[in-house]
Amino acid sequence: MRNTPQQNAVQIMLDFADLTGLGASSQPPGRYLWTDAFAVCNYLSLFRVAKDRSWLDLALQLVDQVHCILGRHRADDMRSGWISGLSDEEGRLHPTRGGLRIGKGMNERSPAEPFDEHREWDRDGQYFHYLTKWMHALRCVGSVTGERIYTEWALELAKTAHARFSYAPAWGGPKRLFWKMSIDLSRPLVPSMGQHDPLDGLVTYSELQAAMGGFERLASSDLQTEITDMSGICRSMEWVTDDPLGIGGLLFETSRIAQLIMRGVFSDVKLLGEVLEAGLRGLESISVSRRLEEPPGYRLPFRELGLSIGLKAASRLSDWALLHPALFGQRNLFTGHAEALASYLPLAEKIESFWLDEGNRTVANWSEHRGINMVMLATSLTPGEFMTV
């Protein structure tokens, strides 16, 4: 008998815990920020569905490990302690104030070392788009537990990330974002800007701002300045991409923007339309290229699974438009795109089925990125908590 999506997700996330040092695992903890952000949301989703406290315990343990490992300097670094420079006691109270390391295998490039594009992918540092994923995960933990501290940590991370990654170019114009920063956030390691980083930042900041609406508002928890900065950067951006992970990210952002509009905390309907249109153009490029027909050895699972997650997130847009027709402009943004989007939704199940097949997971492209492939497959199978704002 074929397993249900939830059963498959349960086994994947149990295997992930054993592989990376969670729960009763005898393995030493191995943390990687992007992977762990998805994993936290997966454990929360399973807790919501199964009402089994052990899933929540795994999520909370994972948060603690991420902060205590990726919030501190590496074991092979001359520096030690919290990367924020705070004392041990203060660092535990504010574990995200200095940002969080990526968790790469190699230490960061020294200031005197020449840039090597190939090796840079394997070096540590901080990525803005990894930090925003962790902000989202912390907000989800705060929502499930009802404990404000997780959202406060997310807000502190947002403040730090924005202050260090954003800059005003010397030639003028809107602010920009560095793509990769050093572990201590003192210098850029890759000065170019990620294509979708400003969008991710804008939506994530808005999500956190909305989350704090349920608590007593403090001046330190307000992100309006950061939101204004990100809005300015977004006005000059082109969103279209042919990368499956990037397309999935665009579709995921349309879902979050729509939810925030329905909550009355986001008003840029024009941006929603632009992002949705870009996502559909990307889907068309995927269809034309037929890259999802290639053998497993020529495919990158986590990038395809990002597309699957985005498709599942965007699948709810038409229903929301029918329920709230007045919120999305005089010409409902989803009316013209609903049919086109619907034609691509079966791709999500196709991608899941392909990577659930054990025969397709024998290739190096699966094993070399096993952790991230596992958790993103589980997210696609049970995306509930990850897709909420």
Sheet of strand 188-190, all strands in order from the earlier edge strand to the far edge? 126-127, 180-181, 188-190
Quick check: 264 pLDDT over 80? yes
pTM over 0.85, yes/no? yes
Quick check: 216 pLDDT over 70? no
Q: Taking a C-beta distance cutoff of 8 angstroms, is the pair 200, 132 a contact? A: yes
Can you tell me which residue has the tokens 């004392």? 87
Confidence bin at 331 (pLDDT 50/70/90): low
pLDDT at 323: 83
What are the residue ranges spanned by the domains of the chain? 1-70, 238-389
CA angle, 342 as apex, 9 and 292 as ends, to 5°? 60
Contacts of 80 (CB under 8 A, 6+ apart): 72, 73
pLDDT in tens, 275-293: 999 999 999 999 999 999 9
pLDDT in tens, 124-148: 999 999 999 999 999 999 999 999 9
Quick check: 175 pLDDT over 60? yes
Dump the DSSP string for 223-239.
Answer: -HHHHHHHHHHHTT---
φ/ψ of 180, rounded to 5, equals -140, 135
Positive or negative, the Cα torsion across 359, 16, 43, 200?
A: negative
pLDDT in tens, 180-195: 999 999 999 999 999 9
pLDDT at 220: 59
Confidence bin at 172 (pLDDT 50/70/90): confident
Quick check: 219 pLDDT over 60? no
pLDDT at 335: 66
For the chain, give the percent of residues with pLDDT over 90: 87
Which whole-number Å values give the CA distances from 272 to 72, 332, 360, 389, in the listed order?
Answer: 37, 11, 36, 16
pLDDT at 334: 66
Q: Which two tokens stand for residue 87?
A: 């004392």
For the chain, give the percent of residues with pLDDT over 70: 96
Confidence bin at 322 (pLDDT 50/70/90): confident
Q: Taking a C-beta distance cutoff of 8 angstroms, is the pair 154, 139 a contact? A: yes
Contacts of 225 (CB under 8 A, 6+ apart): none
How far apart (Å, rounded) are the C-alpha atoms in residues 305 and 355?
A: 9
Quick check: 165 pLDDT over 60? yes
pLDDT at 226: 97
pLDDT in tens, 97-116: 999 999 999 999 999 999 99
Confidence bin at 329 (pLDDT 50/70/90): low
Q: Taking a C-beta distance cutoff of 8 angstroms, is the pair 241, 195 a contact? A: yes
Coil vs helix vs strand at 42: helix
Quick check: 7 pLDDT over 80? yes
φ/ψ of 167, rounded to 5, equals -155, 155
